[in-house]
């Protein structure tokens, strides 16, 4: 297994001899405004440029989009990707959106398992911020709330859990209990709404998941890029959590 941190939640995961592009947000630095109703809406994003050329990023076997939010998918990705590529999404709604952009091979990942080549994916549930608070706020801004996590499983590889845009919650704990992943990727920049509600994991969430699953290696992603972040790579390094690794952009981790 190889995890290549590109930028933000965009990763290239090599697993079972296949290359998967995760959440391709491929626009140039500062091309879009910050999110209205969230921290630092006056700061444009992405805050940094891509570390490699787009043509290298899209040279993959398949795409996994955890959810259709504008810091996980954009028109630059839609234009750069082959429309025949295998594409995996969380729901029929996201499937219809991606198909409307011309992609021909789009599938929804099932909680009961979806097989691609010899790899099995399992959709897991998220709380993209506390559901009872953040879901109404997202809907008022015209942004869908739901996101998914994905568990990767194949013979001769460690089990990988891509937790997705979520806080530490019962759903994440259940995924860890059920699948016992050796590697967990978490989105951890502590992005927040103006009402101070976090949308994804912050340092307290990281400490909680680190303590809960000490035998797993936790990879901290989704860092230093969106306008509404409240946690940086340096903040996480200061925690000195033994089982948490913090890859730089374009760094490759091998497991």
Q: SS3 of 163, please?
A: coil
Could you tell me which residues come within 8 angstroms of residue 234 by beta carbon, excluding any fewer than 6 positions away? none
Q: What is the DSSP letter of 192?
A: B
Q: Which residues contact 3 (CB under 8 A, 6 or more apart)?
A: 11, 12, 13, 14, 183, 185, 219, 247, 252, 253, 255
**Cis before 46? omega within 30:** yes
- The SS3 of residue 190 is coil
Contact 152, 118 (CB under 8 A): no
Cα 176 from Cα 157, distance rounded (Å): 17
Burial, 112: exposed, middle or buried (Cβ in 10 Å; 0-12, 13-18, 19+)?
Answer: exposed
Q: How many helices (H) and strands (E) does the chain have?
A: 7, 14
Domain hosting 165: range is: 2-254
Q: Is 100 left (phi over 0), alpha (psi -120 to 50) or beta?
A: alpha
Domain total for the chain? 1
**CATH at residue 81:** 3.60.15.10
Pairing of strands 217-221, 10-15: unpaired
Per-position DSSP letters for 197-231, written without gaps between them:
-BSS--HHHHHHHHHHTTTSEEEEES-S-STT---
Other CB atoms within a 10 A radius of the CB of residue 238 amount to: 10
DSSP string, 32-45: BPPPTTBTTTTS-B
Strands 252-254 and 2-7, by their bridges, are antiparallel
Stated pTM of the model:
0.97
Return the structure tokens found at 196: 């101070």
Q: What is the pLDDT of residue 137?
A: 81
Distance CA 20, CA 4 (A): 10
pLDDT by residue for the chain (255 residues), tens only, comes to 999 999 999 999 999 999 999 999 999 999 999 998 899 999 999 999 999 999 999 999 999 999 999 999 999 999 999 999 999 999 999 999 999 999 999 999 999 999 999 999 999 999 999 999 999 888 887 788 999 999 999 999 999 999 999 999 999 999 999 999 999 999 999 999 999 999 999 999 999 999 999 999 999 999 999 999 999 999 999 999 999 999 999 999 999
Alpha helices, DSSP H, located in 25-180: 54-57, 75-80, 92-100, 131-140, 170-179
């Amino acid at each position: 297994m190889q995890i290549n941190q590109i930028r933000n939640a965009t990763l290239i995961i090599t697993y079972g001899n296949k290359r998967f592009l995760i959440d391709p947000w491929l626009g140039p630095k500062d091309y879009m405004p910050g999110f209205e109703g969230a921290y630092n809406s006056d700061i444009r994003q992405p805050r940094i440029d891509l570390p490699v050329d787009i043509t290298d990023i899209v040279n993959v076997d398949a795409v996994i989009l955890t959810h259709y939010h504008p810091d996980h998918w954009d028109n630059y990705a839609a234009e750069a990707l082959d429309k025949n590529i295998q594409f995996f999404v969380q729901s029929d709604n996201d499937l219809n959106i991606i198909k409307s952009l011309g992609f021909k091979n789009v599938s929804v990942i099932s909680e009961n398992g979806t097989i691609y080549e010899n790899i099995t994916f399992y959709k897991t549930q998220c709380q993209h911020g506390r559901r009872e608070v953040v879901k109404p706020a997202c809907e008022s801004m015209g942004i869908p709330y739901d996101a998914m996590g994905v568990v990767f499983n194949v013979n001769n590889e460690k089990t990988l859990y891509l937790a997705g845009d979520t806080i530490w919650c019962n759903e994440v704990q259940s995924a860890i209990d059920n699948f016992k992943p050796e590697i967990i990727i978490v989105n951890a920049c502590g992005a927040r709404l103006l009402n101070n509600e976090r949308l994804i994991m912050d340092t307290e969430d990281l400490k909680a998941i680190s303590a809960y699953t000490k035998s797993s290696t936790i990879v901290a992603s989704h860092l230093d890029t969106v306008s509404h972040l409240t946690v940086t790579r340096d903040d996480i390094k200061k925690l000195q959590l033994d089982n948490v690794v913090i890859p730089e952009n374009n760094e490759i981790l091998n497991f």
